[in-house]
Amino acid sequence: MTRITYISADADPRLAEWLIMNNCNVRSVKTEGIVAAPLCCHPDMFMCRIGTQIVSMFASPDMTRPDSKYPEDICYNAACTGRYFIHNLKHTAPELLLEAEKAGMTLVNVRQGYTKCSTVIVDETSVITYDKGICKACSAAGMDVLLVTPGHVILPGYDTGFIGGCSGRIGNTIVFNGDLSLHPDCDRILEFIGNKGLEVKWFGEWPLTDIGSII
């Protein structure tokens, strides 16, 4: 079954080609004048996947609209595993909270507003993050969490990017946008994901790069 998949308009074409070959209907995100310029093509700034549904700023004029400054820019940047909804709940778009509650998801409050950027969704109860606060809150909620070294991800315009922002799950494969083998915790990441019965795909031709997630 074809799945609609959102990626940054700035993503390497080879990522889009791989997604298309794996039954994805790829749609590029590009905006201007809404959030900070380096993030204007990042899907996770404008939408969030809850199950099979995409809750998006673009759905209608009545949807919550992010702004260019923190914390007004984080309203859609929640990490959703299917069972857990993880975000700084004080700043979550009301539409997202409503859908999470309708889906019966467990809400996990964290201080990190860029939650999806900071979190690799592995399965319904498992995530990877560099953020100690997210790790602590998710572990307390009963999740299995791999805490990794921060950094080692490029985000043009900033000192560093986030590992969640260069990742996404397509079927039974966790996809990383760039060369995961250069991350200092690559072996631990591969083992953690492999223990969940999942595969990993990455691209050795370019460094790990935060593109606002693969949604």
- The mean pLDDT value for 59-70 works out to 95
Is 208 contained in some domain?
no
- For position 208, what pLDDT does the model report? 98
Which domain, by its residues, includes 104? Answer: 3-201
Confidence of residue 68 (pLDDT cuts 50, 70, 90): very high
pTM: 0.97
3-state secondary structure of 140: helix
Is 170 contained in some domain?
yes
CATH number reported for the structural domain that contains residue 108 in this entry: 3.75.10.10
Is 150 contained in some domain?
yes
Instruction: Give the number of domains in the chain.
Output: 1
- The mean pLDDT value for 102-128 works out to 98
Alpha-carbon distance of 94 to 43, in angstroms, equals 18
- What is the DSSP annotation of 132-155? HHHHHHHHHTT-EEEE--S---B-
Is 206 contained in some domain?
no
